[in-house]
Structure 1
């Protein structure tokens, strides 16, 4: 069970899917979830395995205390978690299903704050899965950060979702570029 805002955006994403395929970026209308826009972001995916931020809502930019456009989203995560997050993005893209990462927002000199990070794949104009609709949904009091910017995000749990938002079966062996990672 996720935060109601996370569930709402997953349901919206599913409603835009055609013939059980992931939705096209052009089918997603931000006016359909205006109240969530500050927490919403869109990632691209380039051939080099980077995930540049294409668009970031005000809450997302404020949390990181900078304009995020063009930055590789993997850089938001602690170095020790980047491969895990990249693998989750690739699994979501290949399966055509969203993934929710339960994370910790870490800031220097402040206690961490829990957050759900939704990453839902979308297709671009060429039909390739090269975009992600994202959401930052705090699950604890954001005021605990005392106005400090996020230094990084840490992974607590990654949940790949199936068609009915149930957790997908866990992989027993995973490789990336021929290297075993899990």
Structure 2
């Protein structure tokens, strides 16, 4: 179970998938999730396996305290975990499924802050997955960073979610006042 904003963008991504595949970049309308735009970003993928930031919302750029356009997003992660994140992106791209990385935002002189990073592949005009729709969703109080910029992200867990045609599991009420509800 993820943060409701993460779940919402996953559901949006799944809803845009055509023929049980990966959604096209052109099918994503930022107007459909205006309240999440500060936390949203788009990554590209070039031939060298780099993942340059194409667009980044205000929260994302403020967190890193710089313009991120053109930067390789793998550089945001701890050096020892970059290969793991790169592998997760490649698996997500090949399988046509989103990935959620539960991470720690690390800044100098501040305790780490938990965050979910959603990375969901998108296809270009040629039908190849060449972009990722991303979301930075804090899962702890971001104020703990005391306004300090993120130096790096550290991986806690990486979860793949299955292709667009799979429904995410939903919780159901099983009891009420101690009695089983059928």
Query: TM-score, length-normalised on structure 1?
Result: 0.90
The 2-side partners of 1:108 and 1:95 are apart by 37
CA offset at residue 165 of structure 1?
A: 3.1
Gaps of 5+ in 2: 170-182
Unaligned ranges ≥5, structure 1: 167-182
Which residue of structure 2 aligns with residue 132 of structure 1?
Answer: 132
Shift of 1:71: 0.2
Larger-Rg structure: 2
TM-score, normalised with respect to structure 2:
0.90
Alignment partner of 1:61 is 2:64: no
What secondary structure does 2:111 align onto?
strand
CA distance in structure 2 between the partners assigned to 1:37 and 1:101 by the alignment: 19
Deviation of the 1:107 alpha carbon: 0.2
Q: Which residue of 2 aligns with 1:83?
A: 83
Structure-2 separation of matches of 1:125 and 1:62: 31
Kindly tell me the number of residue pairs found equivalent between the two proteins. Answer: 166
Q: Deviations over 1:148-170 (max 9, x none)?
A: 0000000000000122236xxxx
Please say if 1:164 is aligned against 2:167: yes
Where in structure 1 do 4 or more consecutive aligned residues deviate above 3 Å?
none
Deviation of 1:125 after TM superposition, in Å, equals 1.7
Post-superposition CA distance 1:4-62 (Å, at most 9, x none): 00000000000000010000000000000000000000000000000000000000000
Which structure ranks higher in relative contact order (CA pairs < 8 Å, sequence separation ≥ 6)?
2
Alignment RMSD, CA only? 0.7
